[in-house]
């Protein structure tokens, strides 16, 4: 079967010497431009303004035709073509506001260059050590949080990216000192794991485990390097300073229970923030653990740092927090408060398809004949919906796929290209990946990763309320599994709303659009109604029962809070095992509304057990803490007014227990029963 790929992509892969080049698949999450060598010379005024040097090349300042400033990284070593190709492939897969944006590249012979977003305030190392004006603790903490969030996103991708060179000189600072992780020259994809003996890095920041022959690279190597950066941020001391040996002194102090206050940077240390500095140091110390498994996950680190920012902003930095950090578990954050647990490319812009729709960047295009071969003539139906049929198939390399054939409204030009473009720009372990597309002979099809356990509704809702006739029998999912599913979906939505360079509004969050893999890890799917948050909605989108009131009642501007409402309804269904249109037999009122019923059971009658899925009643006898957490979070998401609902970033913290919900939400009373 012939796979059709763009010629520049093939040339990039030709630079790679690995025997298995399929490991280096191109998946671009935003539009990447290809530049010619002459265009690069014009952009940089013939390389007139040098910004710096790196291991593989030189960086020059440039300006695009739209007056956007850029940094142009030129590879100068003739033997570095493979490193160039791998860096472009890896960098192109990351779409996060705190990762320097890859604008484009030039692959002309002996002129390999990368065009990158320009960071106006230079790098963190220079700002920290070479400027007279000190950086405030609040700014340093914000920088740490943004870097931790970017690394957490990279480690959470479908094929996680391991940076391997986290250090202050690779953390650039944009306007208002927002952090931007840069330089993916030695980065690796997790699926391309190799022995650490082949890895180079920066002395002082490199994981000491790399010294062990045969040690494998993992995301925990980035965690160690980040811990070193944290220490440098609060001490203003480089780890390579042999006279101060700050990393060793930090480790010994925590091991022996000694204070580390004398190591703090005098520019930021005072009585009012001593506890916050000590807490940051404790987090750094855990990141620096010599044992991989004892180091925390970056998403957990980001959550703890956000908590410290809240303490600092509230002026309580000198109070007794009572915190313990990552106590006893591999990646769990703990608190002394009882009952609260801390959970753990390419495309030329000139490439235009029919009617002005741009080609989806970096996603392979297949013919209708290819799809017939993949699916053995469309014989294995996985499911049917109002606007699509999904078939099982296999790519030439053996990977199982779900081929989604669109028709009706779902197969229109606008809907199809919107779904392909949006999915191509996202990369998260809780979002289904797109592996190809077809627009041939009047057919519109998406090739998606195959998710084995089907949709969430098959597992938590009665058969009579499931949306399609696909196979599947309701299984018993315990409360903890349901909680983890909800948390995974929340992470995906927070990524879409708050972390993607271009925010995405899903517009159709419901159990049917949440798939479960072999390990019941959730994967958000079906972006046919999705749109960019920056766009104004021109029509009602969504499914009856999951739509927020502002779609048809309040007639307000639609924001990410509409998705939050839908998630709240899903959360109630997950914990209760009941569909949104469930009605208690003894209640005959026409204004009966599922969230209102739940609210009254929970907050007025205090009978949380009445809300729980009947098959969870045995678990309820052992405690209802998780159920209460999920219900409380759901009711906050289901507030009638959008401005009273939390953001998805906050929802994540509510679900994992890092926010204590002391205030009672208002009773939701408005039922939006409109359907598109």
Mean pLDDT of the chain: 81
Are 462 and 567 in a shared domain? Answer: yes
Q: Please report whether residue 1 resides in a domain.
A: no
16 and 133 inside one domain: no
> Higher-confidence residue: 515 or 253?
515
Higher pLDDT, 99 or 79: 99
For residues 70 and 141, membership in a common domain is answered with no
Report pLDDT digits (tens) over 180-207: 999 998 888 876 655 444 556 788 998 8
Confirm if 254 and 196 have CB atoms less than 8 A apart.
Answer: no
2 within some domain: no
Cα separation of 506 and 418, whole Å? 11
CATH of the domain at 638: 1.10.510.10
Question: In this structure, is residue 325 part of a structural domain?
Answer: yes
Please tell me which residue, 647 or 311, carries the higher pLDDT value: 647
Report pLDDT digits (tens) over 392-436.
999 887 889 999 998 865 556 777 888 888 998 888 889 999 989
117, 137, 169 — which closes off a domain?
117
When mean pLDDT is compared across 26-40, 176-190, 590-604, the lowest value belongs to: 26-40
Say which range, 282-296, 310-324, 541-555, has the weakest mean pLDDT: 310-324
Q: Which of 500, 523, 454, 498 has the alpha carbon at shortest distance from 647?
A: 498
Average pLDDT estimate for 201-221? 78
Residue where one domain finishes, among candidates 117, 149, 178? 117
* 352 found inside a domain: no
In a domain, 354, yes or no: no
pLDDT(515) > 90? yes
d(CA 138, CA 310): 10
Looking at residue 378, which CATH number applies to its domain? 3.30.200.20
In percent, how much of the chain has pLDDT > 70? 78
402-419 as b/e: b if 16+ CB within 10 A: bbbbbeeebbeeebbbbb
Q: Compare 335 and 378 and report the one with higher pLDDT.
A: 378
Q: How wide is the angle at C-alpha 284 spanned by C-alphas 280 and 287, nearest 5°?
A: 145
The answer to whether residues 464 and 376 belong to one domain is no
Tokens encoding 343: 């959970």
Residue 676 falls inside a structural domain: no
**Residue 53 falls within a domain, yes or no?**
yes
Any domain includes 353: no
Per-residue pLDDT at 324 exceeds 50 = no
Asked which of 424, 449, 474 is the last residue of a domain, the reply is 449
Question: For residue 2, what pLDDT is reported?
Answer: 35
Render 362-387 in DSSP notation, one character per residue: T--B--HHHHHHHTTTTT-EEEE-SS
Q: What residues form the annotated binding site?
A: 74
The rounded distance, in Å, linking the Cα atoms of 139 and 136 is 5
Question: Quick one: 81 and 194 in the same domain?
Answer: no
Residues 432 and 566 in one domain: no
Number of domains within the chain:
4
| Most confident range, picked from 149-163, 348-362, 538-552, 626-640 | 626-640
At residue 383, the pLDDT reads 87
- Asked if residue 248 lies in contact with residue 255, where contact means CB atoms within 8 angstroms, the answer is no
Q: What is the mean pLDDT of residues 460-481?
A: 68
Q: Are residues 287 and 402 in the same domain?
A: no
pLDDT at 100: 94
Print the domain residue range for 583. 457-655
Domain match, 313 and 440 both: no
Residue 469 predicted with pLDDT over 60: no
- Quote the radius of gyration of the chain (alpha carbons, Å): 26
**How far is Cα 522 from Cα 477, in angstroms, rounded to an integer?**
13
> What is the average pLDDT across 482-486?
95
Which residues belong to the annotated binding site for ATP? Answer: 74
Higher pLDDT, 340 or 392: 392
Residues 309 and 376 in one domain: no
Helix, strand or coil for residue 181?
Answer: strand
Q: Are residues 74 and 164 in the same domain?
A: no
Q: Which of 41-55, 463-477, 549-563 has the highest mean pLDDT?
A: 41-55
Strand ranges (DSSP E) for 232-335?
323-324, 333-335
Q: What is the pLDDT of residue 602?
A: 87
Per-residue pLDDT tens digits for 533-544: 888 776 778 888
Examine the domain organization and report whether 525 and 465 are in the same domain: yes
- 512-521 in b/e form (b: 16+ CB < 10 A) is bbbbbeeebe
Q: State whether 369 and 433 are in the same domain.
A: yes
pLDDT (average), residues 625-653: 92
Q: Of the segments 92-96, 165-169, 255-259, which one has the largest average pLDDT value? A: 165-169
């Amino acid at each position: 079967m012939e796979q059709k790929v763009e010629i520049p992509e093939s040339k990039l892969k030709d630079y790679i010497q690995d025997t298995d080049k399929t490991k280096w698949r191109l998946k671009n999450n935003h539009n990447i431009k290809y530049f010619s060598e002459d265009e690069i010379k014009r952009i940089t005024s013939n390389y007139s303004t040098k910004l710096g040097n790196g291991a593989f090349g030189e960086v020059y300042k440039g300006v695009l035709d739209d007056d956007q400033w850029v940094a142009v990284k030129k590879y100068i070593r003739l033997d570095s073509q493979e490193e160039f190709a791998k860096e472009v492939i890896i960098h192109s897969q990351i779409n996060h506001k705190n990762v320097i944006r890859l604008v484009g590249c030039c692959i002309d012979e002996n002129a390999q260059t990368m065009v990158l977003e320009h960071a106006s305030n230079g790098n963190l190392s220079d700002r920290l050590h070479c400027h007279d004006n000190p950086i405030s603790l609040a700014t340093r903490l914000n920088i740490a949080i943004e870097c931790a969030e970017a690394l957490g996103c990279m480690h959470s991708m479908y094929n996680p990216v391991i940076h391997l060179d986290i250090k202050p000189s690779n953390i650039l600072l944009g306007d208002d000192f927002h952090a931007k992780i840069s330089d993916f020259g030695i980065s690796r994809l997790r699926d391309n794991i190799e022995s650490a003996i082949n890895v180079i890095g920066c002395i002082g920041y490199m994981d000491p485990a790399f010294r062990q022959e045969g040690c494998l690279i993992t995301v925990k190597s980035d965690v160690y390097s980040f811990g070193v950066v944290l220490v440098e941020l609060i001490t203003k001391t480089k780890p390579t300073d042999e006279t101060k040996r700050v990393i060793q002194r930090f480790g010994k102090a925590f091991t022996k229970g000694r204070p580390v206050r004398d190591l703090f940077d005098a520019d930021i240390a005072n009585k009012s923030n001593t506890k916050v500095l000590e807490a940051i140091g404790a987090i750094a110390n855990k990141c620096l653990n010599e044992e991989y498994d004892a180091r925390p996950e970056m998403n957990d680190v980001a959550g703890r740092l956000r908590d410290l920012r809240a303490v600092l902003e509230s002026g309580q930095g000198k109070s007794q927090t009572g915190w313990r950090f990552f106590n006893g578990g591999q990646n769990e954050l703990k608190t002394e408060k009882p009952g609260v647990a801390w959970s753990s490319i390419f495309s030329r812009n000139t490439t235009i398809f029919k009617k002005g729709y741009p080609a989806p960047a970096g996603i392979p295009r297949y013919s209708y004949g290819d799809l017939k071969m993949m699916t053995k003539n469309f014989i294995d139906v996985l499911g049917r919906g109002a606007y699509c049929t999904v078939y099982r198939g296999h790519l030439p390399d053996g990977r199982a796929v779900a081929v989604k054939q669109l028709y009706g409204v779902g197969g229109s030009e606008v809907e199809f290209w919107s779904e392909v473009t949006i999915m191509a720009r996202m990369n998260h372990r809780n979002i289904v990946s797109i592996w190809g597309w077809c627009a041939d002979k009047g057919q519109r099809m998406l090739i998606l990763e195959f998710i084995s356990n089907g949709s969430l509704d098959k597992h938590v809702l009665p058969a009579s309320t499931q949306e399609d006739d696909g196979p599947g029998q309701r299984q018993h999912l315990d409360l903890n599994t349901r909680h983890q599913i909800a948390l995974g979906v929340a992470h995906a939505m927070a990524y879409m709303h708050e972390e993607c360079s271009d925010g995405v509004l899903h517009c159709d969050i419901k159990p049917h659009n949440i798939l479960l893999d072999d390990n019941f890890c959730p994967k958000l799917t079906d972006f046919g109604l999705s749109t960019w948050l920056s766009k104004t909605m021109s029509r009602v989108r969504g499914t009856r029962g999951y739509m927020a009131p502002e779609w048809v009642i309040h007639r307000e501007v639609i924001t990410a809070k509409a998705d939050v409402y839908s998630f709240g309804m899903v959360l109630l269904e997950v914990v209760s095992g009941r569909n949104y249109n469930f009605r208690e037999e003894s209640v005959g009122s026409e204004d009966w509304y599922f969230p209102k019923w739940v609210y009254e059971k929970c907050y007025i009658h205090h009978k949380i057990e009445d809300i729980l899925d009947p098959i969870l009643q045995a678990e309820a006898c052992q405690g209802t803490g998780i159920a209460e957490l999920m219900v409380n979070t759901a009711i906050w998401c289901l507030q009638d007014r959008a401005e009273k609902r939390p953001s998805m970033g906050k929802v994540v913290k509510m679900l994992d227990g890092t926010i204590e919900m002391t205030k009672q939400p208002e009773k939701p009373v408005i039922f939006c029963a409109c359907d598109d």
